[in-house]
């Protein structure tokens, strides 16, 4: 198994580190345009492997020759969001970056599976999908896992229970219009509405929607990377180990959930072929309307990239 991580910033480097610590690949390639950064970080990680007792080989590079024949490619490259900057502000520049990255990835690893982490997430996943020409099961975006993890964290904090007992689903676009689903969120199998009132649920839903900017505002000069990296690796592990995990991911829809020709987060089964199946759950009218609204916001941005 060979995994390439494009972008050696906080998210990319942390993702590569977790992949190595879990020994999910024989070889991990870290790519970045800044000379010395991927080489230095990769060597530092490699030197940790004797302590961690893992045998993943980690190399850093500024080019793509070393990525040849990767099984899985994780794209984190792009400009980070800064205070006062909306995800939409990132659109033009990150489209250019992801388009270039995808072209080079495809030339070296035409049989790979792509996980996109770059923001704006849903649109960048669309860019990778269109530019790559891959089947839709081989291109997906990491967003729902992260948003669900944030929702689970806030539920755990509110109820003072273990995060291990909390399950949650967040659908839709990765942004202000995401759709957390309290009805499908449980604590030890108990539906969330049975454990807290609507006002509390609404507060946690809003905090989930604001989860990324809350961290941006604290950091001032950066954005979240620990939880995004862990979420990305959860997806990668499901694919590498053919686990058939049910996880919410950004995928290209062709009629599912009444949505067509849009990249948006829904639950899928992840296995060795990437997206093995799109799982369709029953939504009530309010949830369906919210998902349609969220998808509509993504559609507007997709039109702007004009691919």
Residues catalogued as catalytic: 174
Cα distance between residue 62 and residue 229, in whole Å: 21
Exposed e or buried b for every residue in 88-121, given b needs 16+ CB within 10 A?
Answer: eebbeebbebbbebbeebbebbeebbbbbbbbbb
CB 257 within 8 A of CB 251: no
Contacts of 219 (CB under 8 A, 6+ apart): none
Beta-bridged to residue 254, according to DSSP, are 260
Q: What is the DSSP letter of 279?
A: P
Helix/strand/coil percent split, the chain, to 5? 50, 20, 30
Cα distance between residue 67 and residue 25, in whole Å: 13
């Amino acid at each position: 198994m060979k995994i390439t991580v494009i972008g050696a910033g906080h998210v990319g480097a942390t993702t590569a580190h977790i992949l190595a610590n879990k020994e999910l690949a024989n070889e991990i390639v870290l790519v970045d345009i800044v000379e010395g950064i991927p080489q230095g970080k990769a060597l530092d990680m490699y030197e940790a492997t004797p302590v961690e007792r893992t045998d993943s080989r980690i190399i850093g590079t500024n080019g793509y020759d070393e990525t040849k024949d990767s099984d899985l490619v994780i794209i984190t490259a792009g400009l980070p969001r800064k205070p006062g900057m909306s995800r939409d502000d990132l659109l033009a520049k990150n489209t250019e970056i992801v388009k270039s990255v995808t072209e080079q990835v495809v030339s070296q690893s035409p049989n790979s599976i792509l996980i996109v982490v770059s923001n704006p997430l849903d649109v960048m996943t669309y860019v990778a999908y269109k530019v790559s020409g891959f089947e839709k099961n081989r291109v997906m975006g990491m967003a729902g896992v992260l948003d669900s993890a944030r929702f689970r964290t806030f539920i755990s904090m509110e109820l003072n229970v273990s995060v291990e007992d909390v399950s949650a689903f967040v659908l839709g676009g990765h942004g202000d219009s995401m759709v957390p689903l309290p009805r499908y969120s449980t604590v030890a199998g108990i539906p969330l509405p049975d454990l807290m009132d609507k006002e509390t649920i609404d507060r946690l839903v809003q905090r989930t929607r604001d989860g990324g900017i809350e961290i941006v505002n604290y950091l001032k000069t950066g954005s979240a990377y620990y939880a995004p990296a862990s979420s990305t690796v959860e997806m990668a592990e499901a694919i590498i180990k053919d686990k058939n995990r049910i996880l919410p991911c950004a995928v290209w829809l062709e009629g599912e959930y009444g949505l067509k020709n849009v990249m948006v987060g829904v639950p899928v089964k992840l296995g060795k072929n990437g997206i093995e199946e799109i799982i369709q759950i029953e939504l009530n009218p309010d949830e369906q309307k919210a998902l349609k609204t969220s998808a509509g916001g993504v559609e507007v941005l997709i039109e702007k990239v004009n691919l």
